[in-house]
Amino acid sequence: MSLNSSLKAALTRVVSSPVLWDAPLMAWTTFRIGGPADALVTLLDGKEIQEVIGLCEDEKVVWKLIGRGSNIVAPDHGFNGVIIVLGDSFKYIVRGNYLGDGAVIVRCGAAASLARLTDWCAEKNLAGLEFATGIPGSIGGAVVMNAGAWGTEISEILYSVELVDSQRAATLVRKDLSFTYRCCENFSGSHRNSVITGVQLVLKQSKSAEIRDEMKKLRQERLSKQPSGMPTAGSFFKNPPGVSAGQLIEASGMKGFSVGDAKVSEKHANFFVNRGKATAADLIELMRVVQEQVKKTSGVILEPEVQFL
Ligand SMILES: Cc1cc2nc3c(=O)[nH]c(=O)nc-3n(C[C@H](O)[C@H](O)[C@H](O)COP(=O)(O)OP(=O)(O)OC[C@H]3O[C@@H](n4cnc5c(N)ncnc54)[C@H](O)[C@@H]3O)c2cc1C
């Protein structure tokens, strides 16, 4: 069902950037998969976010925020509703207060990319975010997913988040938030209708050269283990407790298996890649076959880490 004309007119009125109608989601996800969203709006401040969410709630239309789309599978038939993207005004990065003992707050807009943020921190001699080198998400998406690598997660250096919903703006500090492996539970529970607009991290004063050396090491490690240059969303499944999903998939004989153009990477069995024209249906079928095979060979049921829109 597409949007009614009064909602379309209201969106055009409250959103200052051009509204994209029937926007192909394959352009907004790193898997390069997904049909058209009824509307895609790029929002520039908290007021616009509140107005758009409010309009959707009034009209009972579904909305969803996409960060950098690096953990999302969008459906082939598209999205019946409004996709929200945060604009450039949510990409700021600034140094905040000194907390003592070498700890410094960094304040950033939720749409700042981890790539730019890690580089900025290295330049400003601030350590703690090196683990995120090579994760292609935004800092807002990293909080919602509790992104992590090499044994460290974003929740370990989080100070607070700023968010808005249709009614209010709020700041939640770290102790208000509940994190588990690859999940901030607040955003699938009490705050599932909120948008993160800003994030504050606590980093440690260090030396730029040391930070860059660590980032270089981790980047090389990634390149040696993970496929590059192919559309993917990173790890497809969560690692079950105490074991790697990639190893279970490899042991089940599914490495390299494909459905259509969706393929289990030859390089890292927990990465599914799009060889060109993969559809969401191919990916879902591949997921189903891999889950079945892994269950048969190990008894473990793999749970997706990627989110289905
Ligand atoms: C090559 C590759 C390597 C990867 N490696 C890693 C890795 O090492 N570790 C890891 O943890 N992940 C990894 N990922 C997955 C992904 O990059 C992370 O999950 C990332 O944090 C997602 O950020 P995003 O901005 O792309 O979020 P999206 O994929 O756009 O969204 C993910 C979820 O967060 C929500 N969201 C995003 N921004 C906001 C916001 N501002 N407010 C409210 N909700 C929001 C979305 O609605 C959605 O529910 C990898 C992905 C790829 C493609």
Looking up residue 60, the CATH number of its domain turns out to be 3.30.43.10
For residue 2, name the pLDDT band (cuts at 50, 70, 90): confident
Residues 252-271 pLDDT 10s: 999 999 999 999 999 999 99
Query: Do residues 208 and 265 share a domain?
Result: no
**Distant-in-sequence, close-in-space partners of 10: CB < 8 Å, separation ≥ 6:** 55
Query: Do residues 109 and 201 share a domain?
Result: yes
pLDDT of residue 262: 98
Domain boundary among 192, 223, 254: 223
For residue 1, name the pLDDT band (cuts at 50, 70, 90): low
Q: What mean pLDDT is predicted for residues 217-226?
A: 96
DSSP letters for 156-209: GGEEEEEEE-SS-EEEEEGGG--EETTEEGGGTTTTTT-EEEEEEEEEEE--HH
Task: Please give the Cα distance from 305 to 308 (Å, whole number).
Answer: 10
Query: Do residues 80 and 182 share a domain?
Result: no
Query: Do residues 124 and 212 share a domain?
Result: yes
Our mutation pick for probing the ligand 1 site, out of 41, 145, 163, 196, counting the most ligand atoms within 8 A of Cβ, is 145
User: Residue 186 above 80 pLDDT?
Assistant: yes
Domain boundary among 72, 89, 106: 89
Q: Is 117 in the pocket of ligand 1 (CB under 6 A)?
A: no
Proportion of the chain above pLDDT 90, given as a percent: 97
Q: State the distance from the centre of ligand 1 to the C-alpha of 234, rounded, in angstroms.
A: 9
Domain limits for position 31: 5-89
pLDDT of residue 46: 96
Query: Do residues 251 and 300 share a domain?
Result: yes
Domain boundary among 176, 197, 223: 223
User: Residue 190 above 90 pLDDT?
Assistant: no
Query: Do residues 110 and 58 share a domain?
Result: no
Residues 12-68 pLDDT 10s: 999 999 999 999 999 999 999 999 999 999 999 999 999 999 999 999 999 999 999
Query: Do residues 128 and 21 share a domain?
Result: no
Active-site residue list: 182, 235, 305
Q: Is 142 in the pocket of ligand 1 (CB under 6 A)?
A: yes
Our mutation pick for probing the ligand 1 site, out of 68, 113, 117, 144, counting the most ligand atoms within 8 A of Cβ, is 144
Looking up residue 198, the CATH number of its domain turns out to be 3.30.465.10
Query: Do residues 203 and 133 share a domain?
Result: yes
pTM: predicted TM-score of the whole model, two decimal places: 0.97
Q: Is 191 in the pocket of ligand 1 (CB under 6 A)?
A: no
User: Residue 183 above 70 pLDDT?
Assistant: yes
User: Residue 91 above 80 pLDDT?
Assistant: yes
Going along the chain, which residue ranges are E strands? 20-24, 36-43, 63-65, 72-73, 79-86, 93-100, 103-109, 126-127, 148-149, 152-153, 158-164, 169-173, 179-180, 183-184, 195-205, 232-235, 258-259, 262-264, 271-274, 307-308
Query: Do residues 300 and 200 share a domain?
Result: no
pLDDT of residue 128: 98
Looking up residue 272, the CATH number of its domain turns out to be 3.90.78.10
- Residue of minimum CA distance from atom 8 in ligand 1: 149
